[in-house]
Structure 1
Amino acid sequence: ETTSKMETLHDTPIRCQDIFKPLPGQDTHIRVVVTQGVAGIGKTFSVQKFTLDWAEGLENQHVSLVVLLSFRELNLIKDERYSLLQLLRVFHPTLQTVTAEKLAVCEVVFIFDGLDESRFLLDFQNNEVVSDVTQTSSVDVLLTNLIKGNLLPSALLWITSRPAAANQIPPTCVDRVTEVRGFTDLQKEEYFRRRSSDEELCSRIISHIKASRSLHIMCHIPVFCWITATVLEHMLATDQRGELPKSLTDMYSHFLHDRSQQELMETDREVLLKLGRLAFEHLEKGNLMFYQEDLEECGLDVTEASVYSGVCTEIFKTECVLFQRKVYCFVHLSIQEFLAAVYIFHCYTNGDMETLETFLGKDDNGQSLDAFLKRVMSKSLKSNNGHLDLFVRFLHGLSLESNQRLLGGLLVQTESRAEDIQRAIKNLKEINPDQFSPFSVSPDRSINIFHCLMEMNDLSVHQDIQELSGCGLSKTHCEVVASALTSNPHLTELDLSENKLQDSEVKLLSAGLESPNCRLETLRSDLGGGFMATTKNVLLFSNMISSFFRLRFCRLSESSCASLAWALKSNPHLTELDLSHNNLQDSGVKLLSAGLESLNCRLETLRLTECQVTDEGCASLASALKSNPHLTELDLSENKLQDPGVKLLSDLVESPNCRLKTLSFIGWSQVVAVLE
Structure 2
Amino acid sequence: MCRKTQKQSWTTSSGVDLNRHKDVVLFSLFSCLLADFGLQKPLDEHQVSVKRRYENTTEGTDETGRETTLNRIYTELYITEGLREEVNTHHEVKQLERVSKILHDVPIRCQDIFKALTDQHGSIRVVLTIGVAGIGKTFSVQKFTLDWAEGLENQDISAVVPLSFREMNLIIDEQHSLLTLIQRFHPTFQKIPAEQLSVCKLLFIFDGLDESRLSLDFNSSQVVSDVTQKSSINVLLTNLIQGRLLPSALVWITSRPAAANQIPPSCVSRVTEVRGFTDSQKEEYFRRRFSDEYLSSRIISHIKASKSLFIMCGVPVFCWITAVVLEHMLTAEQRGELPKTLTDMYSHFLMVQTKRKKNKYQQKHEENPQELAFEHLEKGNIMFYQEDLEQCGLDVTEASLYSGVCTKIFRRECQIFQKPVYSFVHLSVQEFLAAVYMIHCYNNKKTEVVENFLEDQIINLPSKTGHLDLFVRFLHGLSVESNQRLLGNLLGWIENSPETIQKAINNLKKMNSEKMCLDRTINIFHCLTEMRDLTVHQEIQEFLKSENRSKKELSVIHCTALAYMLQMSKDVLEELDLN
- For normalisation by structure 2, the TM-score amounts to 0.73
Structure 1 residues 287 and 203 mapped into 2: Cα distance closer, same or farther (>3 Å)? same
1:399 maps to 2:479: yes
Of residues 484, 489, 493, the one that matches 2:565 is 484
- CA drift at 1:480: 7.0
Q: Tell me the equivalent position of 1:411.
A: 491
Over aligned residues, Cα RMSD in angstroms? Answer: 3.4
Q: What is the SS of the residue equivalent to 1:345?
A: helix
Aligned amino acid, residue 524 of structure 1? L
Q: Tell me the equivalent position of 1:389.
A: 469
Q: Supply the distance in 2 between the matched residues of 1:387 and 1:26 (Cα, whole angstroms).
A: 37
Q: Supply the distance in 2 between the matched residues of 1:261 and 1:6 (Cα, whole angstroms).
A: 41
- CA drift at 1:462: 3.1
Q: Tell me the equivalent position of 1:314.
A: 408
Q: Tell me the equivalent position of 1:344.
A: 438
Structure 1 residues 445 and 14 mapped into 2: Cα distance closer, same or farther (>3 Å)? farther
Q: Supply the distance in 2 between the matched residues of 1:419 and 1:454 (Cα, whole angstroms).
A: 18
1:136 maps to 2:217: no
1:354 maps to 2:448: yes
Q: Tell me the equivalent position of 1:502.
A: none
Q: Tell me the equivalent position of 2:571.
A: 519
Q: Tell me the equivalent position of 2:30.
A: none
Structure 1 residues 480 and 266 mapped into 2: Cα distance closer, same or farther (>3 Å)? farther
Q: Tell me the equivalent position of 2:263.
A: 169
Structure 1 residues 68 and 80 mapped into 2: Cα distance closer, same or farther (>3 Å)? same
The answer to whether the 8 A contact 1:280-1:336 is kept is yes
The answer to whether the 8 A contact 1:286-1:387 is kept is no
Q: Supply the distance in 2 between the matched residues of 1:379 and 1:396 (Cα, whole angstroms).
A: 20
Q: Tell me the equivalent position of 1:29.
A: 123
Q: Supply the distance in 1 between the matched residues of 2:359 and 2:83 (Cα, whole angstroms).
A: 54
Q: Tell me the equivalent position of 2:293.
A: 199
Q: What is the SS of the residue equivalent to 1:72?
A: helix
Structure 1 residues 433 and 79 mapped into 2: Cα distance closer, same or farther (>3 Å)? farther
- CA drift at 1:300: 0.9
Structure 1 residues 428 and 152 mapped into 2: Cα distance closer, same or farther (>3 Å)? farther
Of residues 102, 112, 137, the one that matches 2:206 is 112
Instruction: Point out the structure with max Rg over C-alpha.
Output: 1
Q: What is the SS of the residue equivalent to 2:449?
A: helix
Of residues 80, 83, 104, the one that matches 2:177 is 83
Q: Supply the distance in 2 between the matched residues of 1:305 and 1:521 (Cα, whole angstroms).
A: 54
Q: Tell me the equivalent position of 1:158.
A: 252
Give a deviation string over 1:210-262, Cα, whole Å, max 9, x none.
11111111112222222222222222223535421100111111122233337
Identity %: 66
Q: Tell me the equivalent position of 2:332.
A: 238
Q: Supply the distance in 1 between the matched residues of 2:187 and 2:413 (Cα, whole angstroms).
A: 19
Q: Tell me the equivalent position of 2:528.
A: 453
The answer to whether the 8 A contact 2:136-2:274 is kept is yes
Structure 1 residues 127 and 310 mapped into 2: Cα distance closer, same or farther (>3 Å)? same
1:221 maps to 2:315: yes
Q: Supply the distance in 2 between the matched residues of 1:75 and 1:476 (Cα, whole angstroms).
A: 45
Give a deviation string over 1:318-342, Cα, whole Å, max 9, x none.
2111322111222222222211211
Q: What is the SS of the residue equivalent to 1:390?
A: helix
- CA drift at 1:435: 5.5
Structure 1 residues 171 and 417 mapped into 2: Cα distance closer, same or farther (>3 Å)? farther
Q: Supply the distance in 1 between the matched residues of 2:482 and 2:331 (Cα, whole angstroms).
A: 21
Q: What is the SS of the residue equivalent to 2:163?
A: strand
Q: Supply the distance in 1 between the matched residues of 2:320 and 2:536 (Cα, whole angstroms).
A: 29
Give a deviation string over 1:122-153, Cα, whole Å, max 9, x none.
33335644333333332223222322333333
Higher mean displacement: 16-25 or 152-161: 152-161
Aligned amino acid, residue 196 of structure 1? F
Q: Supply the distance in 2 between the matched residues of 1:293 and 1:409 (Cα, whole angstroms).
A: 27
Q: Supply the distance in 2 between the matched residues of 1:427 and 1:176 (Cα, whole angstroms).
A: 47
Q: Tell me the equivalent position of 1:625.
A: none
Aligned amino acid, residue 122 of structure 1? L
Of residues 523, 537, 542, the one that matches 1:462 is 537
Q: What is the SS of the residue equivalent to 1:20?
A: coil
The alignment of Structure 1 onto Structure 2 pairs a total of residues equal to 476
Give a deviation string over 1:246-282, Cα, whole Å, max 9, x none.
0011111112223333775553344441111111222
1:178 maps to 2:258: no
Trace 1:317-336 onto structure 2 (pairs within 5 A): 317-336=411-430
- CA drift at 1:169: 2.0
Structure 1 residues 141 and 318 mapped into 2: Cα distance closer, same or farther (>3 Å)? same
- CA drift at 1:197: 3.9
Q: Supply the distance in 1 between the matched residues of 2:510 and 2:221 (Cα, whole angstroms).
A: 45
Higher mean displacement: 414-423 or 335-344: 414-423
The answer to whether the 8 A contact 1:263-1:409 is kept is no
Q: Supply the distance in 2 between the matched residues of 1:152 and 1:481 (Cα, whole angstroms).
A: 55
Structure 2 stretches of 5 or more lacking a match? Answer: 1-80, 85-101
The answer to whether the 8 A contact 1:164-1:386 is kept is no
Q: Supply the distance in 2 between the matched residues of 1:479 and 1:159 (Cα, whole angstroms).
A: 37
The answer to whether the 8 A contact 2:509-2:557 is kept is no
- CA drift at 1:485: 3.9
Give the structure with the larger helix fraction: 2
Higher relative contact order (CA 8 A, sep 6+): 2
Q: What is the SS of the residue equivalent to 1:318?
A: strand
Q: Supply the distance in 1 between the matched residues of 2:494 and 2:375 (Cα, whole angstroms).
A: 24
Q: Supply the distance in 1 between the matched residues of 2:540 and 2:262 (Cα, whole angstroms).
A: 36
Trace 1:554-593 onto structure 2 (pairs within 5 A): none
Structure 1 residues 206 and 86 mapped into 2: Cα distance closer, same or farther (>3 Å)? same
Q: What is the SS of the residue equivalent to 1:359?
A: helix
Structure 1 stretches of 5 or more lacking a match? Answer: 363-375, 490-517, 528-676
Q: Tell me the equivalent position of 2:501.
A: 421
Q: Tell me the equivalent position of 1:663.
A: none
Q: What is the SS of the residue equivalent to 2:132?
A: coil
Q: Supply the distance in 1 between the matched residues of 2:466 and 2:521 (Cα, whole angstroms).
A: 10
1:67 maps to 2:161: yes
Q: Tell me the equivalent position of 2:192.
A: 98
Trace 1:536-551 onto structure 2 (pairs within 5 A): none
Structure 1 residues 318 and 27 mapped into 2: Cα distance closer, same or farther (>3 Å)? same
Structure 1 residues 282 and 379 mapped into 2: Cα distance closer, same or farther (>3 Å)? same
